[in-house]
Amino acid sequence: SIRAFIFDLDGVLTDTAEYHYQAWAALAKQLGIAFNRQDNEQLKGVDRMGSLQFILDKGGLQLSDNQKHAFANQKNHHYQQLIEHMSEADLFAGVHDLFAQLKQADIAIGLASASKNAAMVINRLGINQAFDYVADAAKIKQGKPHPEIFLTVAQTLGVKPAQCVGVEDSLAGLQSIIDAGMQSVGIGDAKVLQQAQWVYPHIKDLSLPRVLEQANK
Ligand code: G16
Ligand code: MG
């Protein structure tokens, strides 16, 4: 039976995916590289340096490591400005209710965010106490789509991957969940997230009874 739900943060529990997009789009514009929302789908869930490299490759731009770190820092400062005013009001509808249902069912709650800003964001959202374990993105060696982050959370919670449901909005993150051997919920467009077992447009649409009923035993 299902013993843990492991959530992505950006784009699943709150709309920070939009802020990441805005900050990357501003940098791409400054570098003279075309970058739109469709390109951004490839970046969701991808760590900071990996995201920068995707944009540089798209523009055929080669930079030194020092230059790359400077641009990555610049993006992060812009992103931090964009999230500065976040509050509990920015938590997506349905999250409190879902967490309450999970606690009621004695199912652990984990966070598998690739973001080094995740601790600050969950504090702002007022949900930091809700998690049984929060992955430290700084300690993850292989970012999404590698399964390491989801496997680390499951291991720390003391549950087998097959007993976990991972919840993701990104293609890279969904791949992590699948390669970890977990069951998968996609949040977003079913055409994009075809490989997920269940897809809901929004976290508030996720039906816990339905997922638990249909999950592989
Ligand atoms: C997130 C975002 C990515 C972002 C990454 C790293 O992951 O989806 O767009 O590039 O974290 O974020 P930071 O630059 O703040 O360390 P997730 O896994 O929460 O979707
Ligand atoms: Mg995400």
Residue 75 beta carbon below 6 angstroms from any ligand 1 atom: no
Residue nearest to atom 11 of ligand 1 (CA): 115
DSSP 121-181: HHHHHT-GGG-SEE--GGG-SS-TTSTHHHHHHHHHHT--GGGEEEEESSHHHHHHHHHTT
179 is in an annotated binding site: no
Mean pLDDT of the chain: 97
Set 8, 15, 65, 205: catalytic member: 8
Give me ligand 1 centre to Cα 54, in Å: 14
Amino acid making up residue 34: A
At residue 183, the 3 state secondary structure works out as: strand
Residue nearest to atom 2 of ligand 1 (CA): 45
Q: Is 8 a catalytic residue?
A: yes
The answer on pLDDT for 217 being more than 80 is no
pLDDT tens, 31-76?
999 999 999 999 999 999 999 999 999 999 999 999 999 999 999 9
pLDDT tens, 165-187?
999 999 999 999 999 999 999 99
pLDDT at 216: 82
Are 140 and 147 contacting, i.e. CB atoms less than 8 angstroms apart? Answer: no
pTM: 0.93
pLDDT tens, 70-112?
999 999 999 999 999 999 999 999 999 999 999 999 999 999 9
Residue matched to tokens 């760590």:
47
